Amino acid sequence: MRDRVFTSLPIVLAFLVAVPASAAADAGDCRNGSFSSQKTDFGLAVIKGASRAYLYDLDSCSNTSHCKKEGASHILSGDRVVTGRTRGNYVCVYFFRYGGSAGWVDKSRLRSLTIASRPARSSWFGRWSDEGNPTVRLSDKRGALHVVGEAYWPQPEPAKDLPPRHSGEIDGKLTLLGNRARHDQDYCKIDLALIGDILIASDNDMCGGTNVRFNGVYRRVRA
């Protein structure tokens, strides 16, 4: 996950003024690694209809009828997905089966779910992780939302035949605005969005060593 650096005023304003996902249109890609870095507001939806819905790779394929992604390319009716940017009649979605997959889905197959625009502070609390790496813990500290986290590349534990491990740590206050929060300490900046029971993080690529990112689609995990 290695995409966006927050370096300009328009990006900051985009954080402060959320754009509904249904109205956003962005020509960027739709892939696992870059999903959390999209310039859009995220949402939740369920797949509707009796048949399977398919993930499409519109970023490297021009003929939609032949653009189904290989491998874990379909989603079942009733499955819940995280929604992001739109492109024409398609919405970029992320779902958790098979360790997490992202791709374009026909918007006619999606039924939007209501999420809290100003969730209770306690809704943020707990330990969150994206498949074990990165991991963050959110808590109340002297009346403010606080984050402590760690991220590693290529993985948390050193392993034979892999590059040397790099790490990153965060520990500081979060500025809360509705269902969004920002960590801004020294050079490291991380934006968080609480979408129901899912936490989405995007950083500026300056929160750790080489290739270390806190970007991810997190779920709450046991302490």
pLDDT in tens, 92-145: 999 987 778 899 999 999 999 999 999 999 999 999 999 999 999 999 999 999
Q: Which helix (H) or strand (E) holds 172?
A: strand 166-177
Decide if pLDDT at 5 tops 60. Answer: no
Which residue reads 């806190």 in tokens? 214
Whether the CB-CB separation of 176 and 205 falls below 8 Å is answered with no
Taking only the tens place, the pLDDT of each residue in 76-102 is: 999 999 999 999 999 999 998 777 889
CA distance 108 to 37: 24
d(CA 105, CA 91): 5
State the pTM of this model.
0.83
pLDDT over threshold 60, residue 184:
yes
Q: Which of 200, 204, 203 is nearest to 220 (CA)?
A: 200
Length reported for the chain:
223
